[in-house]
Structure 1
């Protein structure tokens, strides 16, 4: 679907995680969605085989690019985002597994408020947006389809986050470009570069929000490179205190409870209408 954001998947060397990510992406994303698999010389022979097989059968409009030599994940992703111009882009970690409806709901969330610069879905390993408990890593959901339906019933409050989180984030193209893109000079990890970008977006008046109706699973949280957090602290002296305050007071507690309640009480999926025509 050409009206949906572009999905960018920066590839890692974890072939098994990539295989699971691409399968979930295929199952949970509308046919025809534009997908860019961006390889900073990370995928090995098995990873390339996974990509080749997936490209041959997917219903998504997928492209794959590979640099001959790695330039680092932040520099590479900044290059990819720059090539997307003013288009809105959903950056999806290659070790994540998006649940059905994830992209449409994030796009709807962003379209509802022109001041939103980034929107992040729930995740079982999402730090500030972790579910069912803030700041904890829970096992990936057993019944992703049921959880996706429960999330779809959440009210659209779009609460503010201290920063976007790297398991999956939809970035508004115009906001990203105005903020100057990613800082590949200061940070080595997407984890830290995304925090920095989020804080620059907030400084320019854009909002970093939670999309309560979308969920993207992941086995582990992202991690910063050596020195990244120290550089963040120098540039943004109040960042660590702001994050700690958010985690301690958990302003999303009621939303977490509501999602848990919906998951417990959600009924079976509606029968497929075309079977009864």
Structure 2
């Protein structure tokens, strides 16, 4: 059993796009969807949530708890299930969840899985570690990722929180996100991943899945503002964090595969919109 948890705060148009894509791509009864409104003050959000499928779990916080506490509530509501934590400014694509779960199933020691995206630092494509524009053709990118040869599933120092599979066995062992230290967000997934790594777990990229991400302003390495409190807390706990991230970026194990994915995307794009003959 897998649960998809979507924390929501305001941004009704982006949230509607996210939930519509989620609804269109989920098949079967093996997925439990939990949508948590963190006390949005935009009345359009609860109105939107009232239109969701009856089988989806809908929760509204009585007061704003912040992203991390809301995410932890979702992990708790998912009970025994593995969880995919999905930001409300994303758009999933056909086959995204199946690809992520297939990746997770390759090794029971995998604690987290992150798909490729346009805006996700070490998971970004086509430009690596840079925010790419919102894709006009996310489904074509998804097909390109799926059709570019056998997956590599490279190990990474941390997941990226826009879309993150978390294995329940790891949650049970090391606990949920630290909402006291990272209560308003930024850094909680990095800390969780470092704790999991210290306990012998692994984190990987799923290079056969693509999830579009709108994202916000860049916060430097893995969404953290240089010199910010979250980064200070993270480095105090895990002094080698930046060294491990830098080593992954320097090695760039997906460089050749990204190039193949881009080539495949361009080929699919030409098939979709062939150029007129001279």
- TM class by shorter chain equals 0.7 to 0.9
* CA-based RMSD: 2.1
What is the CA deviation profile of residues 215-257 of structure 1, one whole-angstrom value per residue up to 9, with x for unaligned ones?
A: 1111125755851111001111111222233334422211211
Name the CA distance, whole Å, in 1 between partners of 2:86 and 2:179.
19
Name the CA distance, whole Å, in 2 between partners of 1:41 and 1:264.
42
Q: Say whether residues 1:170 and 2:172 are aligned partners.
A: no
Name the CA distance, whole Å, in 1 between partners of 2:103 and 2:117.
16
Contact between 2:66 and 2:185, CA under 8 Å: does it hold in 1?
Answer: no
**1:13 alignment counterpart:** 10
Q: How has the CA–CA distance of structure 1 residues 82 and 63 changed in structure 2, closer, same or farther, with 3 Å as cutoff?
A: closer
Q: Say whether residues 1:159 and 2:154 are aligned partners.
A: yes
Please point out which of 35, 41, 60 is paired with 2:39: 41
**1:106 alignment counterpart:** 100
**1:52 alignment counterpart:** 50
Unaligned runs of 5+ in 1: 270-277
**Which stretch has the larger CA shift, 149-158 or 105-114?**
149-158
**2:204 alignment counterpart:** 209
What is the CA deviation profile of residues 5-24 of structure 1, one whole-angstrom value per residue up to 9, with x for unaligned ones?
A: 21000112211211111122
Name the CA distance, whole Å, in 1 between partners of 2:204 and 2:103.
9
Q: How has the CA–CA distance of structure 1 residues 190 and 172 changed in structure 2, closer, same or farther, with 3 Å as cutoff?
A: farther
What is the CA deviation profile of residues 61-93 of structure 1, one whole-angstrom value per residue up to 9, with x for unaligned ones?
A: 311101111222212221321232331000000
**Which stretch has the larger CA shift, 36-45 or 243-252?**
243-252
**1:64 alignment counterpart:** 58
Normalised to the residue count of structure 1, the TM-score between the two structures is: 0.87
Count of matched residue pairs: 262
**2:254 alignment counterpart:** 252
Please point out which of 176, 179, 183 is paired with 2:178: 183
Task: Give runs of aligned pairs for residues 124-163 of structure 1, distance below 5 A.
Answer: 124-154=118-148, 155-163=150-158
Normalised to the residue count of structure 2, the TM-score between the two structures is: 0.87
Q: How has the CA–CA distance of structure 1 residues 249 and 157 changed in structure 2, closer, same or farther, with 3 Å as cutoff?
A: closer
Unaligned runs of 5+ in 2: 273-278
Name the CA distance, whole Å, in 2 between partners of 1:19 and 1:190.
22
Contact between 2:120 and 2:131, CA under 8 Å: does it hold in 1?
Answer: yes
